[in-house]
Amino acid sequence: MTDSNNPLRLHKGRGAASNITGRFASHSSTYESDGWQVDLEPIERLITTAIEEKAKSIIATNQSPDIPFTQSINPYRGCEHGCIYCYARPAHAYMDLSPGLDFESKIFFKPNAADLLEQALRKPGYQCSPIALGANTDPYQPLEKDKKITRSLLEVMQKFNQPVTIVTKGQLILRDLPILAEMAQDNLAQIAISVTTLNNELKRKLEPRTAGPAARLRIIEQLSTTGIPTAVMAAPMIPALNDNELEKILKAGHDVGATRAAYILLRLPHEVAPLFESGFLLTTH
């Protein structure tokens, strides 16, 4: 059961304004005012909880013609970056957790990911194609600093000459610059840094726990000058919010060394639509 319909109130540094009930939940609760002004009560600080998940397999495959990769690995479920528009939010409903605040504060990590990857790459029938690291949730979210799962996966990939692609907003990727640079020399690594907006204030509302636009451009610069092919990913483009920035973002990325670019239009699947509406509206009033 997830806590639904709790009063919409912003938690500092969080994206969602509620723990909306997941679509598979068997029960939901309803907030009823007892007459006391809830606005006067202090909001408890929401602590992030890391939950160990023993994965049974680690490479996910897909045959979708809409998706530019066939293999992916997600070291984490949930993402503390807490972007309000995140299309991965609805996946938390499969864990009987909310795609709202739970998604950004109850993070599952897979400590056996590297072992499982090595087993998969050793299989005689393994067909090599690039693995998208963190296709669903960011592989360089804050928990990675402590857990180092993304790092351990890169080490296995390098050992087996396995090509990798990464999309991230996380500055922590700079920790892995040496290994990524070595892999890039063998044409095994391509990175995309997501830049949603160049406006700090809008970034803070949309993506509360991510690096700012200037920091992300510096990441592109550092990766590019180290010889790692790096793209600027203008995503998501949100009509009337940041789509007017598209050309500026692409130019800013090009100016710091990005050699490729892409954009993705906003999608608001399942619970993300009401979360986006309530979370964003609350930050703008």
Closest separation in Å from C-beta 251 to ligand SF4 = 23
Q: Which spans of this chain sit near ligand SF4 (rule: CB under 6 A)?
A: 79, 81-83, 86, 88, 137-138, 141, 169, 207
Cβ proximity to ligand SF4: between 17 and 86 the closer is 86
Q: Are 5 and 27 in contact (CB under 8 A)?
A: no
Cβ proximity to ligand SF4: between 53 and 118 the closer is 53
Cβ proximity to ligand SF4: between 72 and 137 the closer is 137
Closest separation in Å from C-beta 128 to ligand SF4 = 26
Spatial neighbors of 235 by CB under 8 A, at least 6 apart, are 194, 196, 262, 263, 264
Closest separation in Å from C-beta 140 to ligand SF4 = 9
Closest separation in Å from C-beta 136 to ligand SF4 = 7
Cβ proximity to ligand SF4: between 88 and 198 the closer is 88
Closest separation in Å from C-beta 178 to ligand SF4 = 24
Closest separation in Å from C-beta 236 to ligand SF4 = 8
Per-residue burial over 113-132, b if 16 or more Cβ lie within 10 Å, else e, is bbebbbebbeeeeeeeebbb
Cβ proximity to ligand SF4: between 130 and 139 the closer is 139
Q: Are 166 and 133 in contact (CB under 8 A)?
A: yes
Closest separation in Å from C-beta 15 to ligand SF4 = 7
Spatial neighbors of 50 by CB under 8 A, at least 6 apart, are 107, 109, 143, 146, 147
Cβ proximity to ligand SF4: between 207 and 271 the closer is 207
How many other CB atoms are there within 10 angstroms of residue 98's CB atom?
28
DSSP β-ladder status, 131-133 and 71-73? parallel
Spatial neighbors of 212 by CB under 8 A, at least 6 apart, are 200, 203
Cβ proximity to ligand SF4: between 102 and 138 the closer is 138
Respond yes or no on whether the N-terminal peptide bond of residue 163 is cis (omega within 30° of 0): no
Q: Are 200 and 245 in contact (CB under 8 A)?
A: no
Q: Are 86 and 145 in contact (CB under 8 A)?
A: no
Sign of the C-alpha dihedral, residues 64, 87, 184, 145?
negative
Q: Are 9 and 43 in contact (CB under 8 A)?
A: yes
